[in-house]
């Protein structure tokens, strides 16, 4: 039988700060690089930018990394915990490919199982209260109403251009997650708001920032007349959080509008095929975690089945 030799890290392996920067430089997708950088910056700050990568090796290194990681993100949501672990895992795998690491510094840490959260759906009354808040500007009112009425992902709505809207038929072409071209539809409230928001514009992004762009952007992300840029997801999420901070149970997230729209449609009797078209999902398994009956609807169903209630 052939002997198995454990690979040793190269003697000239870079310091942690240099290794982190080298790994991040290989990631072409800007949002992914930004997300991974959070974990890599934290690792560098903890162990030192000039510390040798070899400090992460061995049993002592694995113990240190595990203690730091669980102390840093142990109280975070499972999704955040797993995202940070995945980022560091990708970096460690790449470092091993460069022969800068031999072992796995993360071997003491296990991914967390994401428990289903049945409280993410907002009650219908809470959604309506949110959408008619007097303090909402026209742009926010239109965006939030469109997201709820269409169940579109926020990124899909923010990527819309004016020439993709079919205002007469209350629909628009969007590019779904994964790249598929699909159609979203909306109702009367959104149909009344969109023309006011556009104010005669026929080109450029539907949802714009409040001022001219300060940096050079692709022409497709600018309104040619005003020079205003396409509203970013980060800014939209911030606006939504600010708008819902004072509401019961707030602040909410943009994704909760989509979650609530799908749940309310399921409660109204939409069948599986309709829900798949409404959500843009391609599988029932993906849809199931969104289209869950809310506690309020479950209570109404139980009340309707209660013999004492029927006698009353």
Q: Where are the domains of the chain?
A: 16-97, 124-302
The answer to whether the CB of 162 falls within 8 A of the CB of 206 is yes
Q: Tell me, what's the pLDDT at 185?
A: 95
pTM, two decimal places: 0.60
φ/ψ of residue 225, rounded to 5: -80, -45
Alpha helix (H) residue ranges in the chain? 16-24, 30-47, 58-73, 78-97, 124-131, 138-150, 154-158, 188-198, 233-244, 254-267, 272-279, 284-288, 295-305, 307-311
Q: Which one, of 228, 234, 233, lies nearest residue 211 by Cα?
A: 228
Q: Tell me, what's the pLDDT at 168?
A: 95
Q: Tell me, what's the pLDDT at 138?
A: 96
Q: Would you say domain 124-302 falls under CATH 1.10.10.1100?
A: no
* Distance, CA of 218 to CA of 224 (rounded, Å): 11
Q: Which residues of 2-17 are buried (b: 16+ CB within 10 A; e: fewer)?
A: eeeeeeebeeebbbbb
Q: Tell me, what's the pLDDT at 5?
A: 39
Whether the bond between 204 and the residue before it is cis, its omega within 30 degrees of 0, is no
Residue 229 bridge partners (DSSP)? 222
| CA-to-CA dists, residue 214 to 109, 227, 236, angstroms | 43, 9, 18
| 165-168 contact pairs (CB < 8 A, 24+) | 165/194, 165/206, 167/191, 167/194, 167/195
pLDDT in tens, 255-269: 889 989 998 998 888
Q: Tell me, what's the pLDDT at 123?
A: 85
- Length of the chain counted residue by residue: 312
| 205-209 contact pairs (CB < 8 A, 24+) | 205/158, 205/160, 205/161, 205/162, 205/229, 205/230, 205/231, 206/157, 206/160, 206/161, 206/162, 206/165, 207/139, 207/142, 207/143, 207/157, 207/158, 207/160, 207/231, 207/236, 208/139, 209/235
**Mean pLDDT, contiguous 10-residue spans, the chain (312 residues):** 45 87 90 89 96 94 96 86 93 95 95 66 88 93 96 94 95 87 94 96 93 78 89 91 82 88 88 89 78 71 69 57
Q: Tell me, what's the pLDDT at 214?
A: 73
DSSP assignment of 157-174 = HHT-BGGGEETTTTEEEE
């Amino acid at each position: 039988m052939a002997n198995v030799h454990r690979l040793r890290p190269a003697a000239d392996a870079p310091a942690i700060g240099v290794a982190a920067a080298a790994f991040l430089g290989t990631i072409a997708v800007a949002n992914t690089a930004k997300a991974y950088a959070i974990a890599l910056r934290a690792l560098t700050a903890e162990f030192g930018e000039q510390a040798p990568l070899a400090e992460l090796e061995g049993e002592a290194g694995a113990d240190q990394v595990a203690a730091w990681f669980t102390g840093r993100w142990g109280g975070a949501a499972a999704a955040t915990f797993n995202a940070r672990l995945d980022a560091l895992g990708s970096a460690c795998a790449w470092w091993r490919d460069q022969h800068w690491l031999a072992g796995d510094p993360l071997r003491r840490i296990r991914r967390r199982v994401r428990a289903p959260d049945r409280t993410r759906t907002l009650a219908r009354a809470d959604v309506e209260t949110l959408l008619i808040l007097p303090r909402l500007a026209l742009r926010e009112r239109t965006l939030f109403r469109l997201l709820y009425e269409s169940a579109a992902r926020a990124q899909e709505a923010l990527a819309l251009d004016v020439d993709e809207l079919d205002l007469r038929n209350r629909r628009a072409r969007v590019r779904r997650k994964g790249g598929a071209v699909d159609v979203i539809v909306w109702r009367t409230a959104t149909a009344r708001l969109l023309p006011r928001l556009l104010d005669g514009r026929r080109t450029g992004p539907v949802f714009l920032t409040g001022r001219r762009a300060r940096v050079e952007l692709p022409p497709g992300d600018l309104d040619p007349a005003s020079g205003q840029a396409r509203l970013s997801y980060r800014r939209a999420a911030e606006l939504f959080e600010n708008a819902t901070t004072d509401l019961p149970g707030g602040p909410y997230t943009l994704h909760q509008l989509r979650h609530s729209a799908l749940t309310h449609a399921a409660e109204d009797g939409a069948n599986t095929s309709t829900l798949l078209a409404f959500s843009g999902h391609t599988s029932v398994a993906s849809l199931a975690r969104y289209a869950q009956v809310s506690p309020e609807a479950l209570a109404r169903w139980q009340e309707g089945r209660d013999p004492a209630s029927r006698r009353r």
